[in-house]
Amino acid sequence: MKCPVCGGRVILSREFVCSNCGLVIETPLFYDEWEKPERIHHNVYLRSLKLNTTLDWKDKDYSGMRTRPFYKLRLLERQFKENENILELRNLISSIMCKLGYNLSDEAFFLYLIHADKLKYRRHLDVAAGIVYACLRLRKIPISIEEVSVVSSAPQKSIKKIAKLLKVNPITAEELIILTGFDLQVKKLAIKLLRSCKLRGRSSRAYAAASLYLSAVLQGRKVSQMQIAKICKTTDITLRNALRDLLSNLEISILL
């Protein structure tokens, strides 16, 4: 390409410039993104290491003058960090769902977006575990807080708090009976015994263990109270106390 004025050679350095007379012939419409000086770059490697830039809140440059671009840059930086947090939370939700064996990660993430204001200032792992538990319970899937806690390594107390915030009902005694590995006949009779009386004041695990033990005894199965207490993850003392309530409700007398 030659200069139309002097016929010299044209060089490209951000513009098409004549090397002889210095005439600017043409300015390209698109700059290279690394050559454009006004462009603000975010290094990918620094982002992965969480080494982010934090802008000052004063909106002033080195001379003390107030500048509006700093305010806009801080808004962009805040939005970028929020997007990073949401992506991290979504990855945690999908990983916990995959470990539990359910394909409901999108539904759980949508549930989080609905209740995002209630779950502010909490740890991402606790929020992800609580959202997964709430999503599965809303689908009426029989799953306990202990299972979600073991898979996600989040504490059970934090999952319970999030479940209370989202107004999710905990697992019932009937669902716990279904989860156990007993025979179908024992499970059916245990659920019938629970439905025939109204029991309150104790945990669902205690009543599930008591009804399973009573069902096994009535059907002539040789099962100890310690075995059923271990399966239902409770103690034999709570099992006996729940069994007394169950027997007084059903008006049945057996030797404990």
Mean pLDDT, range 217-242, rounded to an integer: 85
Which residue matches tokens 């740890």? 123
The one-letter amino acid at 138: L
pLDDT class for 29, splitting at 50, 70, 90? Answer: very low
**pLDDT at 179 > cutoff 90:** no
**pLDDT at 66 > cutoff 90:** no
What is the rounded CA–CA span in Å between residue 142 and residue 172?
A: 8
Q: What are phi and psi of 127, to 5 degrees?
A: -65, -45
| Token code pair at residue 237 | 């003392």
The one-letter amino acid at 100: L
The predicted model scores a pTM of 0.58
| Token code pair at residue 172 | 């019932």
What is the rounded CA–CA span in Å between residue 197 and residue 205?
A: 16
pLDDT class for 40, splitting at 50, 70, 90? Answer: very low
By percentage, how much of the chain surpasses pLDDT 90? Answer: 9
Kindly list the distances between the CA atom of residue 11 and the CA atoms of 16, 17, 23, 138, 197, in Å, as whole numbers in the listed order.
6, 5, 10, 67, 92
Mean pLDDT, range 124-139, rounded to an integer: 91
Mean pLDDT, range 79-94, rounded to an integer: 79
DSSP assignment of 107-142, as one string? Answer: HHHHHHHHTTTTTTTS-HHHHHHHHHHHHHHHTT--
Residue 96's CB: how many other CB atoms inside 10 A? Answer: 23
**pLDDT at 71 > cutoff 70:** no
- What is residue 37's predicted lDDT score, i.e. its pLDDT? 43
What is the rounded CA–CA span in Å between residue 172 and residue 2?
A: 84
